[in-house]
């Protein structure tokens, strides 16, 4: 995508799997996307590890991750909407860290590229970054993520303007980057997750962090971020598209697109 590899035989099946979702999204362009993601030691260093954080800036620069910034547009924020989310979520007892300034890394820009591989000068929608610590134990519990998602959904729906909002839950599926189990892929777990995220998110919320690490790998715990997306949707949803592919470098990659049918 941002490195022009979509036709490369290694990457093509992965990107082709996204196409139907992209076509649907092209017909339903959101005004704002709340992107739930994790930073990879780029904007956030381990001097401070916020468990949950929200960006409230006018715009976000693309981080230099060690090889220069990715060739993608800067990200336009939605500060008033962010302020509303901060107020609503803290009122709902989710004690968020607030970022007035934030460089966004591939955790945020790659999902945007999946949605829109050729954005040109600007992304098709404004973005609110919602960061989750999935790198340093203890991460938030899966149950807490689902609960945050539910509060996020209420916050979005209570915004006075009538906006179309997408929520992107991101994070690799099963994978582990280091240690003797590096290269772990647990397709059974991933397929169970892809199914349960629609029908039984409580079942996924009930899994412990240790279960995520054992079953999905030390980095597979990134899956808890999907539960924030799931929680934000209303009770009536429709599965528009899903895809699953191994490998994307060292990880299993899956995607599921839900349309929210509740108001």
Partner 1 sequence: MNGSTPQVPGTYVFDAAESRRARALNRLCGSLKEAENREKFKADEVAYCETYGLTVQQRDAVLRRDWNRMMELGGSIFYVFKLAMVDQRSMQYLGGVFTGMTTEEFAQALKAGGRSFG
**Contacts to partner 1 by CB under 8 A:** 40-42, 45-46, 49, 63-68, 135-138, 174, 176-187, 209-210, 213-214, 217-219, 246-247, 249-250, 252
3-state secondary structure of 6: coil
Choice among 84, 175, 241, 245 that is catalytic: 175
- CB nearer to partner 1: give 45 or 162: 45
Buried b (16+ CB within 10 A) or exposed e, 161-194: eeeebbbbbbbbbbbbeeeeeeebbbeebbeebb
Q: What minimum distance in Å lies between the beta carbon of 105 and partner 1?
A: 9
Concerning whether 241 is annotated as a catalytic residue, the answer is no
Question: What does the alpha-carbon distance between residue 223 and residue 191 come to, in Å, rounded to a whole number?
Answer: 12
Q: What minimum distance in Å lies between the beta carbon of 201 and partner 1?
A: 23
Choice among 28, 40, 84, 106 that is catalytic: 106
Question: What does the alpha-carbon distance between residue 65 and residue 69 come to, in Å, rounded to a whole number?
Answer: 7
Q: What minimum distance in Å lies between the beta carbon of 137 and partner 1?
A: 4
DSSP secondary structure letter of residue 223: G
Question: What does the alpha-carbon distance between residue 173 and residue 80 come to, in Å, rounded to a whole number?
Answer: 33
Q: What minimum distance in Å lies between the beta carbon of 219 and partner 1?
A: 8
Q: How many residues does the chain have?
A: 263
| Chain centre distance of CA 119 | 19
Concerning whether 175 is annotated as a catalytic residue, the answer is yes
Q: What minimum distance in Å lies between the beta carbon of 209 and partner 1?
A: 7
Q: 120 CB contacts (<8 Å, ≥6 apart)?
A: 73
- CB nearer to partner 1: give 19 or 182: 182
- CB nearer to partner 1: give 218 or 243: 218
Inter-residue contact 237 to 258 (CB < 8 Å)? yes
Q: What minimum distance in Å lies between the beta carbon of 188 and partner 1?
A: 9
- CB nearer to partner 1: give 179 or 234: 179
- CB nearer to partner 1: give 166 or 207: 207
Q: Which residues pair with 260 in a beta bridge?
A: 237
- CB nearer to partner 1: give 106 or 230: 106
Question: What does the alpha-carbon distance between residue 39 and residue 47 come to, in Å, rounded to a whole number?
Answer: 14
Strand pairing of 165-169 and 32-37?
Answer: parallel
Inter-residue contact 41 to 110 (CB < 8 Å)? no
Residues labelled as active-site residues: 106, 175
């Amino acid at each position: 995508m941002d490195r022009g590899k979509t036709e490369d035989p290694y990457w093509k099946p992965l990107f082709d799997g996204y196409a139907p979702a992209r076509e649907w999204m092209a017909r339903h362009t959101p005004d704002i996307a709340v992107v739930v993601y994790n930073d990879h030691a780029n904007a956030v260093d381990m001097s401070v590890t916020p468990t949950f954080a929200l960006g409230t800036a006018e715009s976000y620069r693309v981080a230099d991750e060690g090889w220069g910034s990715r060739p993608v547009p800067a990200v336009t924020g939605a500060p008033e909407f962010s302020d509303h989310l901060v107020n609503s979520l803290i009122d709902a007892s989710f004690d968020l860290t607030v970022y007035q300034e934030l460089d966004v890394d591939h955790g945020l820009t790659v999902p945007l590229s999946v949605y829109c591989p050729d954005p040109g000068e600007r992304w098709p929608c404004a973005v609110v970054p919602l960061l989750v610590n999935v790198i340093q134990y203890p991460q938030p519990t899966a149950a807490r993520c689902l609960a945050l998602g539910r509060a996020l959904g209420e916050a979005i729906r209570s915004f006075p303007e009538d906006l179309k909002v997408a929520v992107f839950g991101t994070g690799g599926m099963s994978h582990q980057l280091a240690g003797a189990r590096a290269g772990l892929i647990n397709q059974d777990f991933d397929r169970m997750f892809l199914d349960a995220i629609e029908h039984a998110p409580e079942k996924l919320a009930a899994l412990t962090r240790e279960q995520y690490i054992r079953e999905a790998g030390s980095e597979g715990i990134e899956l808890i971020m999907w539960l924030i997306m799931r929680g934000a949707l209303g009770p009536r949803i429709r599965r528009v598209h899903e895809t699953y592919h191994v490998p994307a470098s060292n990880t299993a990659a899956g995607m599921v697109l839900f349309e929210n049918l509740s108001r």
